[in-house]
């Protein structure tokens, strides 16, 4: 505990862990209960909302909205920020989250996850949108849950990265890895190669290097792409490597969302000794302007992220 600490942040992390246990229970029974498939409506992202997206979103909101700890929350599945505590907007913390990451993998039993990001409330009278639009550097905590072969929760409060595994026999998360550090360089690169023709030349040349065809054979890597950001990120965090979702001519600002995908994972990876860029600048330095704004994301081992940034700049400055 730290000087002046009230325990509210610890309790908020427990609230999130409770929500994660409930969501994990739903995920483990998917197929046996009617929670797979689409709800038949399009969310604010323009995506076909899945039943589990809605269940996860409601579960997290219900776990935190009346505790007095969270003043305002924002979710990938909510068009606008939600002021909590009966609309008073009072509470020490702001919670931003992607309730269910990797929705396209729900029905095919591939790892999916939840990502969350926590800030201090700025407007003590009544928190709102401006409390949600803080730079990633201001985060006080960030984490993710991965519903994979086991359910793991990884988070940081700025004092290292710690990993827990859910023991279903006792319903508790048990510490498995304290102070996770990611390798300086890794053997994997993760990118959706079907976007190859949509990328700028710099990203094409960079990925060719990872394939051993770009003239930098020391950068040859093995390809792994799960299609769930949490799963691709978690593998690279532990074994080393780089995940890329660059801007392209279909998604000029990239596909992934800054506030509840890129920022929390960037906080985690920097605490683990890695790096996260939008291709030009560190993710955590971006000044948000919109709740659901997207960003290009290059994240993982520091030397690999720096290689991508350098190679893209080299190729594109020579054009």
Q: Is 238 exposed, middle or buried (0-12, 13-18, 19+ CB in 10 A)?
A: middle
Residue from the set 101, 248, 270, 304 that interacts with ligand AHG by CB under 6 A: 101
Q: Roughly how many angstroms between the first and final C-alpha of the chain, as a whole number? A: 54
76 binds Mn ion (CB under 5 A): yes
Strands (E), the chain: 38-42, 48-50, 70-75, 82-83, 93-101, 112-120, 141-147, 151-156, 161-167, 172-177, 188-190, 222-223, 241-245, 256-257, 275-277, 294-295, 297-300
43 binds ligand AHG (CB under 6 A): no
Q: Which is nearer to Mn ion, 177 or 293 (CB)?
A: 293
Alpha helix segments (H runs only) across 65-98: none
Question: How far is 156 from 160, CA to CA, in rounded Å?
Answer: 6
Number of residues binding to ligand AHG, judged by CB under 6 A: 12
Stretch that binds Mn ion, among 8-16, 69-77, 152-160, 165-173 (CB under 5 A): 69-77
Nearest approach, Cβ of residue 292 and ligand AHG (Å): 11
102 binds ligand AHG (CB under 6 A): yes
Stretch that binds ligand AHG, among 122-130, 196-204, 223-231, 308-316 (CB under 6 A): 223-231
Number of residues binding to Mn ion, judged by CB under 5 A: 4
Question: How far is 169 from 297, CA to CA, in rounded Å?
Answer: 37
228 binds ligand AHG (CB under 6 A): yes
The secondary element (H helix, E strand) that includes residue 312 is helix 302-317
Nearest approach, Cβ of residue 255 and Mn ion (Å): 9
Residue from the set 227, 273, 282, 288 that interacts with ligand AHG by CB under 6 A: 227
Integer-rounded Cα Rg, in Å, for the chain is 19
Nearest approach, Cβ of residue 91 and ligand AHG (Å): 25
Stretch that binds ligand AHG, among 140-148, 164-172, 224-232, 269-277 (CB under 6 A): 224-232
Choose among Mn ion, ligand AHG, none what residue 304 binds, the Cβ cut-off being 5 to 8 Å by kind: none
255 binds ligand AHG (CB under 6 A): yes
Residue from the set 192, 200, 239, 293 that interacts with ligand AHG by CB under 6 A: 192
C-alpha dihedral sign at 22, 27, 31, 34? positive
Question: How far is 153 from 151, CA to CA, in rounded Å?
Answer: 7
Question: How far is 250 from 296, CA to CA, in rounded Å?
Answer: 12
Nearest of 274, 280, 313, 317 to residue 295 by alpha carbon: 280
Question: How far is 259 from 138, CA to CA, in rounded Å?
Answer: 12
Residue from the set 13, 57, 98, 248 that interacts with Mn ion by CB under 5 A: 98
Nearest approach, Cβ of residue 66 and ligand AHG (Å): 25
Stretch that binds Mn ion, among 6-14, 92-100, 179-187, 232-240 (CB under 5 A): 92-100
101 binds Mn ion (CB under 5 A): yes
Strands (E), 43-160: 48-50, 70-75, 82-83, 93-101, 112-120, 141-147, 151-156
Stretch that binds Mn ion, among 2-10, 58-66, 97-105, 243-251 (CB under 5 A): 97-105
Choose among ligand AHG, Mn ion, none what residue 228 binds, the Cβ cut-off being 5 to 8 Å by kind: ligand AHG
Nearest approach, Cβ of residue 300 and ligand AHG (Å): 13
Give me the residues that bind Mn ion (CB under 5 A), please: 76, 98, 100-101
Give me the residues that bind ligand AHG (CB under 6 A), please: 47, 76, 98, 101-104, 192, 227-229, 255
């Amino acid at each position: 505990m730290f000087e002046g600490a009230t325990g509210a942040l610890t309790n908020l992390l427990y609230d999130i862990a409770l929500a994660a246990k409930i969501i994990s229970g739903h995920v483990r029974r998917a197929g046996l209960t009617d929670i797979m498939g689409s709800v038949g409506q399009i969310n604010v992202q323009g995506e076909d909302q899945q039943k589990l997206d809605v269940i996860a979103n409601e579960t997290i909101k219900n776990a935190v909205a009346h505790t007095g700890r969270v003043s305002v929350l924002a979710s990938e599945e909510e068009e606008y920020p939600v002021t909590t505590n009966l609309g008073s907007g009072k509470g020490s913390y702001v919670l931003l989250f992607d309730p269910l990451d990797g929705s396209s993998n729900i029905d095919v039993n591939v790892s999916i996850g939840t990502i969350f990001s926590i800030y201090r409330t700025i407007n003590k009278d009544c928190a709102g949108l401006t409390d949600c639009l803080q730079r990633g550097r201001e985060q006080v905590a960030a984490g993710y849950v991965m519903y994979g072969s086991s359910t793991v929760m990884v988070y940081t409060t700025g004092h290292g990265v710690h990993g827990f595994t859910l023991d279903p026999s006792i319903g508790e998360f048990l510490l498995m890895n304290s102070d996770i550090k990611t390798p300086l360089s890794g053997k994997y690169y993760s990118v959706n190669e079907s976007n190859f023709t949509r990328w700028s030349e710099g990203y094409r040349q960079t990925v060719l290097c990872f394939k051993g065809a770009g003239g930098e054979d020391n950068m040859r890597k093995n390809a792994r792409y799960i299609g769930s950001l949490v799963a691709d990120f978690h593998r690279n965090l532990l074994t080393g490597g780089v995940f890329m979702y660059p801007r392209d001519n279909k998604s000029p600002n990239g596909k992934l969302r800054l506030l509840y995908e890129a920022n929390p994972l960037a906080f985690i990876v920097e605490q683990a000794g890695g790096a996260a860029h939008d291709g030009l600048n560190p993710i955590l330095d971006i000044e948000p302007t919109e709740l659901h704004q997207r960003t290009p994301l290059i994240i993982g081992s520091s030397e690999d992220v720096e290689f991508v940034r350098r190679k893209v700049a080299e190729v594109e400055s020579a054009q």
